[in-house]
Amino acid sequence: MSEQFRPRIHFAPQRNWINDPNGLVFDAATELYHLFFQHNPFGNVWGHMSWGHATSADLLHWTELPLAIAEDEHASIFSGSIVIDHGNTAGFGLGAWVACYTGCLRRPEGGQAQGLAWSLDRGLTWTKYAGNPVLDLGLREFRDPKVFWYEPTGRWVMAVVLPDERRVAFYGSANLRDWALLSHFGPTGCTMAIWECPDLIHFPAAGEATDRPLASPTPLGGGASPDASAGAIDRWLLKVDTFEGHPAGSGAQCWVGRFDGTRFQDETEAFWADHGSDFYAALSFAHLPAGRAPVWLAWMNQHAYAKDTPTAPWRGAMSLPRELALCKTGDRWRLQQSPVSTEVLRGSPRHLIGAGLVDKAGDVLELRWELDPGDADTSTLDVRCGPVGESTRIAIDHRRGLVWIDRSRSGLVPSAAHWEGRREQAWGGATGPLVLRVIVDRCSVEVFSGDGYVALTEVIYPGERSLDLAVLKQGRGDWRRSELTLWTLS
């Protein structure tokens, strides 16, 4: 914790570079969450891609373990997923953990193909399958397999991207070794740049509009309640990242639709999972207990400037894990994201009623802002404010019905590309009370609306003395009520 910017409640490696989360899996026997990740064991820039490994009991405190799957003379190890093979379909052993990853091949013509590795000790040590690659189309770009068991057809399904074609391909297999093409999805949505890191997530039942874990009586945007009849309808969320085309650069686009074991049929337009700059390559946990809502986390960064971020000897961190729900209001499906509960980390709450300043509020904070804006124009919350005019501004433009964040004056700027500018997201209603939740760590700000429809994630690199916080009202009009609750997290 003596290193400047080292996050307290987000995963970051002890040393060296990370990018995408890989192979997220919950181990029911030990009740541990396993996080694997793209890792360079030798330096803090991208390269020598291998899978690092960490575990957590609460999704907030992580223990880093030895490197799990290392690059070798055949391939470096790109992104992928893990399944637990309870039926020994692949023949590696009953209950073997099987990692399905992209090998970035070291043959003269290059290329990417899908390979397997297996573990019989709950992910600690791995053996690469001698028959790798198991799915090779002879393509230069073909990657990021997300594998899951599809019970109705009794087979494994893989979602994998053809980045240049802006397509997700679905493959099926009985044994994880032999794969047959099922269907393609795309090109559609944002096709400006390559696609990466698909995930297909099942929601057996549609969600209620909730503010878990901080029960909220007043959802942001208020008014619309979820369509109760949607409760029984199962839907899937398809997510794929694009390298460009998101308002902030790269980002995660999603569709809600149906999946029949062969084909994904979208029922929505493409939408962004997060409107901030730093939520990429999100992956959901496999093998969560039945009845648990899906949980995902993302690499909290973007390739445009990741290599210039001013941290050492580590570089890169993961977002907070988020619980997911799908909610239908009228005929519109929306994704709700609620960050994992931080209750166990909270000190005693402090309150700020109305506008004002909190001196030395801290650098690891959770904020809950309940606001009844009345006829106010704009309400702002400045965090990590410091002596030289530093601050990261979160604002609500009540007239336009927008939440935005601006880190132009937040501190160190890693590079000109994709750094400055407002990242904004519309919120449902135009009037009424609202709730914002903000989680500040030592190099990040994550903003959520109380009902989970708004998510904005940004990394920042403020000075160590930038610890103040301010609530302000701008323009004309008056609030009916503004109450900020503040917890230090440790």
Pick between residue 71 and residue 406 the one whose CB is nearest to ligand FRU: 71
The dihedral built from the CA positions of residue 316, 321, 241 and 144, taken in this order, carries a sign that is positive
Q: What is the distance between the alpha carbons of residues 140 and 164, in angstroms, rounded to a whole number?
A: 9
Smallest separation, CB 295 to ligand FRU (Å): 20
Collapsing DSSP to helix, strand or coil, 304 comes out as: helix
Q: Which residue has the tokens 């994992």?
A: 340
Smallest separation, CB 270 to ligand FRU (Å): 19
Q: Write the DSSP string, 241-264.
A: EEEEEETTEEEEEEEEEEE-SS-E
User: Long-range contacts of range 188-191, CB-CB < 8 Å, 24 or more positions apart?
Assistant: 188/266, 188/270, 189/242, 189/253, 189/255, 189/269, 189/270, 190/242, 190/245, 190/246, 190/253, 190/270, 191/166, 191/242, 191/245
Q: What is the distance between the alpha carbons of residues 417 and 482, in angstroms, rounded to a whole number?
A: 36
234 sits in which H/E element? none
Pick between residue 115 and residue 219 the one whose CB is nearest to ligand FRU: 115
**How many residues are given for the chain?**
490
CA 62 to each of CA 10, 55, 100, 318: distance values in angstroms, whole numbers, following the listed order: 8, 5, 23, 11
Two structure tokens written together for 362: 């801290």
Q: Write the DSSP string, 435-472.
A: EEEEEEETTEEEEEETTS--EEEEE----TT--EEEEE
* Spatial CB neighbours of 408, under 8 Å, sequence gap ≥ 6: 419, 420, 421
Pick between residue 142 and residue 487 the one whose CB is nearest to ligand FRU: 142
Pick between residue 142 and residue 203 the one whose CB is nearest to ligand FRU: 142
Pick between residue 19 and residue 268 the one whose CB is nearest to ligand FRU: 19
Smallest separation, CB 280 to ligand FRU (Å): 6
Smallest separation, CB 470 to ligand FRU (Å): 36
Interaction site with ligand FRU (CB under 6 A): 19-20, 38, 49, 78-79, 102, 143-144, 196-197, 281
Smallest separation, CB 260 to ligand FRU (Å): 27
Smallest separation, CB 104 to ligand FRU (Å): 7
Contact of 92 with 68, CB cutoff 8 Å: no
Pick between residue 79 and residue 337 the one whose CB is nearest to ligand FRU: 79
Contact of 452 with 374, CB cutoff 8 Å: no
Smallest separation, CB 80 to ligand FRU (Å): 8
Collapsing DSSP to helix, strand or coil, 53 comes out as: strand
Pick between residue 316 and residue 452 the one whose CB is nearest to ligand FRU: 316
Q: What is the distance between the alpha carbons of residues 438 and 174, in angstroms, rounded to a whole number?
A: 44
Positions marked active-site? 20
Give me the amino acid identity at 179. Answer: W
CA 357 to chain centre: 31
Pick between residue 49 and residue 383 the one whose CB is nearest to ligand FRU: 49
